[in-house]
Amino acid sequence: MGKGPRVLIVEDDDATREMLCAAFTDAGLEIVAALDGMHALRTAVAIRPDVVLLDLGLPALDGSGYLKRWRERDKRAQKVPVIVMSGMPYGQQIADEIGAVQFFAKPFDVEDVIAAIRRHSRGSRMAR
């Protein structure tokens, strides 16, 4: 059996990031985690993720700023589905504005996020 989708998790909260990494690994997903937007920018170009799971409230470079820069630097980034997770009051609106394929308000059910990753990664895995 091959590896699951390659997921870039961009989350600055240690507990949330560690929980996601453990759950995704158990689900057979291939994961790489970034702590902030600048780290995510370097990582996304290097690993070519199938899906990005993005927090909006990040230090140094926020989620929407990261996504804008990544899409400017890497033409393939336009085709990579982005799933936003946020506890921000206007998180859904921001997710819509940046072209996210799905939004999860924190706290969320991790099984729902895994299902969304599997659903949205199908097309981008073919382009890898």
Helix (H, G, I), strand (E, B) or coil at 9: strand
* One-letter amino acid of 7: V
pTM: 0.92
Map out the domains of the chain with their CATH numbers.
6-125 (3.40.50.2300)
Query: Tens-digit pLDDT profile for the chain (128 aa)?
Result: 347 899 999 999 999 999 999 999 999 999 999 999 999 999 998 999 999 999 999 998 999 999 999 999 998 899 999 999 999 999 999 999 999 999 999 999 999 999 999 999 976 554 44
Q: What is the CA 9 to chain-centroid distance, rounded? A: 5
